[in-house]
C-alpha cells in the first residue's frame, strides 16, 4: 500500500505527477506490464511518438534561438567596426584603426589591405603606413583568391589558409590558419584591392559559414577606400 502521507500529497497536487516526465514514463511502463504482452497499447505508442516529436522540436527551437543570438552578436560587431572605421581623419590613422580597433572588434588576429599597384612597394612613403598595407603587382588579388585556378571570383571567400599565404602574412603565417578574403572594387580605371582578415582559429572562417555580414562590411570598406583614394 502507498504511504498515507504520500497518497494525500498526490491527491492534493496530482498535476505535479503529470508535469514530471520520468514519473509518467514509469507509470506508463507499469501499466503496460500489467496488461501483458498480448495487448497492444496504441495510446502508449502514440505518446512515445509525440514525446519524440516534442524532443526534436525542442532541439530545433534551441538551435534556432542560438543561431539568432549569434547572428545578432555578429551584426553588432560589424556595426561597431564600421563606426570605428569612419572616425579617422587621415589615411594613416585609418589604417592603424583597421589594424587595431577594427581587428579587435571583429575578433581577428591579423588584417591586411592589399592594393595592386605598379608603384615600388619599397617606397618609404608606403612603408610608413605600417604592416597592414600590402602593395602587390597587378593580378595578385585574382591569383590569391582563386589559388591559381581558373575559376570565377566571388566577392567574399572564407577558407583555411593556403601555402602561398606566407607572402601576405609574413611572420604571422606560422599561426594564421583561416582567412576571410574580400575583393574590393575601387571604381573605373583603378586596380582592384582586397581586404584580408586572418584568424589563428582554423574554424573561424569556413566555406560553410554565411557571408552576408562580411559582404556588407566589404561594401562599406570599399566605399571608404574610394574616398581616400580620391
67 in any annotated domain: no
Q: What does the pLDDT read at residue 219?
A: 93
- CA 121-126-131 angle, to 5 degrees, is 90
73 in any annotated domain: no
Q: 133-136 and 110-116 as β-strands: parallel, antiparallel, unpaired?
A: parallel
Q: What is the pLDDT of residues 92-115, one digit of tens each?
A: 899 999 999 999 999 999 999 999
Q: What does the pLDDT read at residue 125?
A: 54
Q: How many domains does the chain fold into?
A: 1
210 in any annotated domain: yes
* pLDDT for residue 59 is more than 70: yes
Q: Are 130 and 99 in contact (CB under 8 A)?
A: yes
Could you tell me which of 145, 150, 128, 143 has the C-alpha nearest to residue 180?
145
- What is the residue range of 117's domain? 90-229
Q: What is the pLDDT of residues 62-90, one digit of tens each?
A: 777 766 666 667 788 899 999 999 999 88
What CATH number is given to the structural domain containing 99?
Answer: 3.30.450.40
29 in any annotated domain: no
151 in any annotated domain: yes
Q: What does the pLDDT read at residue 180?
A: 94
What is the chain's mean pLDDT, rounded? 82
Q: What does the pLDDT read at residue 105?
A: 93
Q: What is the pLDDT of residues 135-165, one digit of tens each?
A: 888 999 999 998 877 778 888 999 998 877 8
Amino acid at each position: 500500500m502507498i504511504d498515507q502521507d504520500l497518497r494525500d500529497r498526490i491527491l492534493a497536487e496530482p498535476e505535479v505527477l503529470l508535469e514530471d516526465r520520468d514519473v509518467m514514463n514509469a507509470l506508463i511502463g507499469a501499466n503496460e506490464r500489467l496488461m501483458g504482452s498480448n495487448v497492444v497499447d496504441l495510446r502508449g505508442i502514440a505518446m512515445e511518438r509525440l514525446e519524440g516529436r516534442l524532443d526534436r522540436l525542442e532541439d530545433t527551437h534551441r538551435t534556432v534561438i542560438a543561431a539568432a543570438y549569434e547572428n545578432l552578436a555578429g551584426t553588432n560587431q560589424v556595426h561597431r567596426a564600421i563606426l570605428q572605421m569612419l572616425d579617422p581623419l587621415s589615411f594613416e590613422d585609418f589604417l592603424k584603426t583597421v589594424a587595431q580597433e577594427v581587428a579587435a572588434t571583429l575578433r581577428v588576429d591579423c588584417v591586411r589591405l592589399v592594393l595592386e599597384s605598379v608603384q615600388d612597394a619599397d617606397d618609404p612613403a608606403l612603408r610608413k603606413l605600417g604592416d597592414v598595407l600590402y602593395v602587390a603587382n597587378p593580378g595578385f588579388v585574382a591569383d590569391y583568391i582563386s589559388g591559381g585556378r581558373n575559376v570565377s571570383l566571388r566577392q567574399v571567400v572564407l577558407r583555411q589558409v593556403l601555402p602561398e599565404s606566407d607572402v601576405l602574412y609574413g611572420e604571422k603565417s606560422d599561426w594564421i590558419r583561416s582567412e576571410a578574403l574580400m575583393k574590393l572594387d575601387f571604381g573605373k580605371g583603378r586596380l582592384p584591392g582586397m581586404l584580408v582578415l586572418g584568424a589563428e582559429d582554423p574554424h573561424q572562417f569556413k566555406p560553410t559559414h554565411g557571408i552576408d555580414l562580411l559582404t556588407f562590411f566589404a561594401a562599406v570598406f570599399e566605399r571608404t577606400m574610394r574616398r581616400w583614394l580620391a
